[in-house]
Amino acid sequence: MTYFSEDQWLAWIDQLSEDNYVIVDDFLPEVLFKDIDAFFVTKTAEDVFKKAQIGTNTALTVAPDIRGDYIYWLDPAVDISLTPVFEIIRECIEKLNRYCYLSLKEFEFHLALYPEKTFYKRHIDQFKNRSNRMISVILYLNKDWQSGDGGELKIYKDNGEELVVNPLANRLVMFNSAKVPHEVLVTHKTRRSLTGWLLYKPSTIGFLKI
């Protein structure tokens, strides 16, 4: 059983290959979106979010002038209420491997919470000394987002154009982690997302979480 049809995956993957990014509105079935939303609320109440850092494991540092989000790393073995979401991520990996010959093996995802006035300066998601992040995946969870609330994702395109993406609930953005510079503009309201990466090789234990 698959969540999305072959044609649907092909259309998304075509666009990803062509533009290095794809945006899909109303991505998850409503019930799954609600599960993530409820999970996020639970984790917020449990106070498990940690200040996100930059760098890799040898040189991790909190840098509020670069990024101001708080994150909670997901563990598919523990966070079982999100099992269907992990199944969709695996389905995505399988399709990308089939149609893009990508050799994706694993994934790592976290919940991300940007408090008011925070941002993430322009960057790319692949690092020189840690190049296994192939595809970045973001699902926005901001149900009442309105124009003027800020927190938009800005994508810097190959052709020099800039694309501003509103972080609307159930909007999925995927892009090539090595090729797409991007930033999160200052948010004027709490901004929430499920964010992760499809990985070329399994991450090592104990490891490079930033």
Q: How far is the CB of 14 from ligand OGA (least distance, A)?
A: 23
For residues 59-78, which are near ligand OGA according to CB under 6 A?
Answer: none
Q: From residue 131 to residue 170, what is the string marking binding to ligand OGA with x (rule CB under 6 A)? A: -------x--------------x-----------------
Residue nearer to ligand OGA on the CB measure, 96 or 173: 173
Our finding on whether 152 is near Mn ion (CB under 5 A) is no
Token pair, residue 90, equals 């695996």
CB 142 within 8 A of CB 115: no
Return the one option of Mn ion, ligand OGA, none that residue 88 interacts with (CB less than 5 to 8 A, by type): none
Question: Which helix (DSSP H) or strand (DSSP E) does residue 23 occupy?
Answer: strand 21-24
Backbone phi and psi for residue 154, each to the nearest 5 degrees, phi listed first: -105, 125
Among 125, 138, 151, 198, the residue binding Mn ion under the rule CB under 5 A is: 125
For residues 168-207, which are near ligand OGA according to CB under 6 A?
Answer: 182, 184, 193, 195
Q: Residues touching Mn ion: how many (CB under 5 A)?
A: 1
User: What are the Cα distances from residue 111, in Å, to 2, 18, 40?
Assistant: 24, 28, 7
For residues 18-47, which are near ligand OGA according to CB under 6 A?
Answer: none
Residue nearer to ligand OGA on the CB measure, 52 or 88: 52
Residue 143 neighbours by CB distance under 10 Å: 11
CA gap 12, 151 in Å, rounded: 24
Beta strand 191-199 with 133-140: parallel, antiparallel or unpaired? antiparallel
Q: How far is the CB of 152 from ligand OGA (least distance, A)?
A: 8
Q: Residues touching ligand OGA: how many (CB under 6 A)?
A: 9
Residue 195 one-letter amino acid: T
CB 133 within 8 A of CB 120: no
Give the interface with ligand OGA as residue ranges (CB under 6 A): 112, 120, 125, 138, 153, 182, 184, 193, 195
